[in-house]
Amino acid sequence: MLAISVDNYIHSGIMFIMNSLNIKRKAMILSLLCEGNSIASTCRITGAVKNTVIRLLLEVGTACDAYQDRVLRNLKTQRVQCDEIWSFVGSKEKNTTPKAKRKENGDAWTWTAIDADSKLIVSWLVGGRDAGYAHDFMQDVASRLASRVQLTVDGHKPYLQAVANAFGNDIDFAQLIKVYGAPQDREASRRYSPAECSGTIIGKTIGDPECEHISTSLVERQNLTMRMSMRRFTRLTNGFSKKFANHEAAVALHFMHYNFCRQHKTLRVTPAMEVGICDYIWSMEDVLMMVETMDR
């Protein structure tokens, strides 16, 4: 009998399982992940091995990121809203050691830009929340738009220089700053509930933004969709991401599902259909077919 290492044996077993999964079972696994199930619960429901689910997530998530990077271009968007949502990988920032930090553990912010009319997620970026990431994010947003837009962001200061660098004066830009009051209750409210918003202030502006469209409500609602649709974004859970690559793949898969597969209740079509990128609602099998096509 030929000698074989344990690692090679496990790897061979995983590849055998990956190849033996039919497209319907793969689609079920991905659908469960997109509907807020954790890796562990998906394994229990489908009977798939944990490593198989993770490998499938990484493969499909990477392909979804590349596909959307290619097709989300020259968008005839008129109004864009941007925001950042917090999560973490491995451990929260305050509990992350320098060694773990080098492995990309710690706080992970997801920057998102949404088309206010079609509800399409135009761009996203996973990383830190500093000026460097703000610059990269706004440069990417600008590269995907076909014409001048009205842009609204929150009070995060790095947006100011990032927007100016990416768009110059060719934009109608407004910063909506929310004013929060102190929570009335003590420890419980301070830990589990956000402070109550007592008002808003329109900050720095460029161009001539229309006041009635200065809002971040839609992108903040998308933040809720992300927390409901990805278990790793749920607060006070042990289902958080253990590796940064898994986190990025899950985000890319979520936005693929949201843009192409999930029918918007108000629009009655998907965001991708609304902007004319495709003309039918994708199934998860269609996503898998796209992945196989890109692998060829």
- pLDDT value of position 16: 41
- pLDDT value of position 190: 54
- pTM assigned to the model: 0.87
DSSP letters of 127-182? E--SHHHHHHHHHHHHHTBSS--EEEE-S-THHHHHHHHHHTTSSEEEEEEEEEPP
- pLDDT value of position 188: 52
Amino acid present at 198: S
- pLDDT value of position 80: 98
Assess contact for 20 and 12: CB atoms under 8 A: no
Q: What is the pLDDT of residues 227-253, one digit of tens each?
A: 999 999 998 888 899 999 999 999 999
- Other Cβ atoms within 10 Å of 179 Cβ, number: 11
- pLDDT value of position 75: 97
- pLDDT value of position 6: 36
Q: Which domains are assigned to the chain? A: 6-295 (3.30.420.10)
- pLDDT value of position 28: 97
Tens-digit pLDDT string for the chain (296 aa) = 434 343 443 344 434 444 568 999 999 999 999 999 999 999 999 999 999 999 999 999 999 999 999 999 999 999 999 999 999 999 999 999 999 988 899 999 999 999 999 999 999 999 999 999 999 999 999 999 999 999 999 999 999 999 999 999 999 999 998 777 665 665 555 555 666 766 777 877 899 999 999 999 999 999 999 999 999 999 888 889 999 999 999 999 999 999 999 999 889 999 999 999 999 999 999 999 999 988 76
